[in-house]
Amino acid sequence: MKLDRKTKANILRWTAHVVALLPLAIIIWRYYTGQLTADPIRDITLRTGWAAIVLLVASLACTPLNIVFGWKQVLPLRRPLGLYAFLYVSLHLLTFVYLDYGLVWGLIQEAIFDKRYALVGLAAFLILLPLALTSSKWSMRKLGKNWKRLHKWVYLAGVLAVVHYFWLVKNVYTQPIIFAVILGGLLLLRVSPVKQQVIRWRQAARKRLRVLTTS
């Protein structure tokens, strides 16, 4: 059975919701079944942080995927993926200030300024906070052109998130390097000359494909 465009879009949207909530469901399930590691706070910290950076990068990848492959159906996923990324960033921060430091603000302040990964992570959260608060269509209308300018800060948040990950994991750099390479590629595709060249290559490839299929 061939699905229409609207049905495909709905399936893609609901799949994104399910996949985005899966890490949280796993954390809750492992907590209640006693399957977290011997250091449960670090386990939760790493799991929420990993989910946050994956979803943030996935949100940033939507526009480049359209640029490279012409996948316009992924564009509506930018906002929900970004909001889910913010959810996990918030849980990541909450784990740090509540589970790890028990809301003792003196210790929290000391940790933030003594541990560079904490300072960079807080900076990423503070950038993402206004972006999450202005993610509605009402905010888009009210802010107008300023909305796009504001939401370009998400790329800086992405860079800070990768740096935070590098400094947090301590000597196991494989995953942070992968995220850094992906993010670098996504940022490169947003550079106007690169973007236009890739679009031209995509259009030329489609023309050749049409010629081959009709000949």
Residues 6+ apart with CB under 8 A from 121: 92, 93, 96, 160, 161, 164, 168
pTM of the model: 0.90
pLDDT given at position 103: 83
Radius of gyration of the chain (CA): 20
Structure-token pair, residue 196? 């236009």
Chain-centre distance for alpha carbon 83: 9
The mean per-residue pLDDT over the stretch 105-125 comes to 89
Given a contact cutoff of 8 angstroms between Cβ atoms, the answer to whether 153 and 131 are in contact is yes
Q: Where are the domains of the chain?
A: 5-214
The mean per-residue pLDDT over the stretch 144-167 comes to 90
Beta strands in the chain (DSSP E): none
pLDDT, greater one: 22 or 151: 22
> pLDDT for 54-99, tens place per residue?
999 999 999 999 888 888 888 999 999 999 999 999 999 999 999 8
Structure-token pair, residue 201? 């290559």
Given a contact cutoff of 8 angstroms between Cβ atoms, the answer to whether 45 and 167 are in contact is no
Q: How many CB atoms lie within 10 A of CB 150?
A: 15
Structure-token pair, residue 115? 């541990």
Q: How many CB atoms lie within 10 A of CB 59?
A: 22
- Per-chain mean pLDDT for the chain: 88
